[in-house]
Amino acid sequence: MLESIYKLIYNFLFYTQYDNVENRRKIKYPNPVKKYTKISFKEDYIINENNIKLYYQNFYPKNNIIIGKIFFLHGYASNNAYWAKDYGIKLARIGYSVYMLDGKGHGKSDGLWGYIEDYSRLVDDQYHFIKSITDYSDVKTILWGDSMGGATAIKLMLKDPNISSGTILIAPMIKIADDAKPSKSLENLFIWLSDYLPTWPILPHNTYPHSGFHPLVSRDFIYNNPLCYNKKPRLGTAIQLYNVSCEIEQLLHTISFPFLVIHGKNDKLTDWQHSKILYDKAISEDKELIIYEDCYHCLLEGPYKDIIYEDIYKWLKIRI
């Protein structure tokens, strides 16, 4: 009875058309490689062990001469269309096969829009997807994790160090920045409420999608992705993200895999100083840290993106 009342209130106050995955799937993405004659693109769905349908994309050179495989792990509220397609295209043009899986509740994958019920399942979905890709078995695999995807990449490597030869961590979610959190008293209240109203998008926050980008990036570009979740965080999602960031913070001293971690000092969403702590505490013999003074959370867009891509390419070239 109480659950029915909660659902009625939710539908009245918060429901949007994209809560329904079928409405998200009606959006037709433009052909991302139409003007690139040397790149192939495919999209499809996989079904996970819980019978959840997950959408993925693959960018690769038409000549099938592959120098490495890269699995791109997107951030919270994002997906692998619009902005992310540019990453796939750039990497495919220099010889990589790039795979991008939308996590449950993101993009065109099943699940309530923007809701993460159990972060460990999100990690498991990425793990099984990566293991299912047996093409090009003679080349190395790299994980590329953006923000929350950085946390996912770390969790994957701690789960199975052999799943990849290394990771690129872009503004990884090791700790959520204090500026992005509500006050401590409200935080405690919402932790309690999350047991009863996990899907409700009512968590106050001090940031908006554009706060993650350099001021010179146009608002039209930032908001042109209709499947980028732009509502308040759902209570259950916030708890999951908070818990996983705490878990990773406690395990930094056990990290031994190769990684490049990059961060902008003007990041308002994740704390750049925690990337420095990751670098200092990790016992990896192969580790590199780059902090960009004038960059924001979304490092791959804005006036410094060419410099940042070159730094990433240099790291990849040595290790592939």
> What is the mean pLDDT of the segment spanning 212-222?
86
In terms of phi and psi (left: phi > 0; alpha: psi -120 to 50; beta: otherwise), the region of 107 is: left
* Residue range 245-264, pLDDT digits in tens: 999 999 999 999 999 999 99
pTM of the model: 0.94
* Residue range 293-315, pLDDT digits in tens: 999 999 999 999 999 999 999 99
In the 3-class helix/strand/coil scheme, how is the chain assigned residue by residue?
CHHHHHHHHHHHHCCCHHHCHHHHHCCCCCCCCCCCCCEEEEEEEEECCCCCEEEEEEEEECCCCCCEEEEEECCCCCCCCCHHHHHHHHHHHCCEEEEEECCCCCCCCCCCCCCCCCHHHHHHHHHHHHHHCCCCCCCCEEEEEECHHHHHHHHHHHHCHHHCCCEEEECCCCCECHHHCCCHHHHHHHHHHCCCCCCCCCCCCCCCHHHHCCCCCCHHHHCCCCCCCCCCCCHHHHHHHHHHHHHHHHHHHHCCCCEEEEEECCCCCECHHHHHHHHHHCCCCCEEEEEECCCCCCCCCCCCHHHHHHHHHHHHHHHC
Where are the domains positioned within the chain? 17-177+207-319
| Cα–Cα distance measured from residue 42 to residue 32, given in angstroms and rounded to the nearest whole number | 10
pLDDT for the residue numbered 180: 58
How far lies 6's CA from each of 11, 201, 230, in Å? Answer: 9, 13, 22
Residue 181 confidence (pLDDT) above 70: no
Average pLDDT, rounded, for the chain: 92
Residue 207 confidence (pLDDT) above 70: no
140 close to 320: Cβ distance less than 8 angstroms:
yes
| Cα–Cα distance measured from residue 219 to residue 71, given in angstroms and rounded to the nearest whole number | 28
Residue 135 token pair:
């093409």
Residue 205 confidence (pLDDT) above 90: no
| Cα–Cα distance measured from residue 97 to residue 300, given in angstroms and rounded to the nearest whole number | 19
| Cα–Cα distance measured from residue 124 to residue 51, given in angstroms and rounded to the nearest whole number | 13
| Cα–Cα distance measured from residue 17 to residue 290, given in angstroms and rounded to the nearest whole number | 40
Residue range 17-177+207-319 in CATH 3.40.50.720: no
270 close to 172: Cβ distance less than 8 angstroms:
yes
pLDDT for the residue numbered 113: 97
CB atoms within 10 A of CB 4: 8
143 close to 167: Cβ distance less than 8 angstroms:
yes
| Cα–Cα distance measured from residue 236 to residue 14, given in angstroms and rounded to the nearest whole number | 15
* pLDDT top residue among 160 and 175: 160
What strand order describes the sheet that includes 259-264? 39-47, 53-61, 96-101, 68-73, 141-146, 167-170, 259-264, 287-292
| Cα–Cα distance measured from residue 307 to residue 264, given in angstroms and rounded to the nearest whole number | 13
> What is the mean pLDDT of the segment spanning 182-207?
80
| Cα–Cα distance measured from residue 129 to residue 138, given in angstroms and rounded to the nearest whole number | 18
Residue 93 token pair:
């043009």
pLDDT for the residue numbered 206: 66
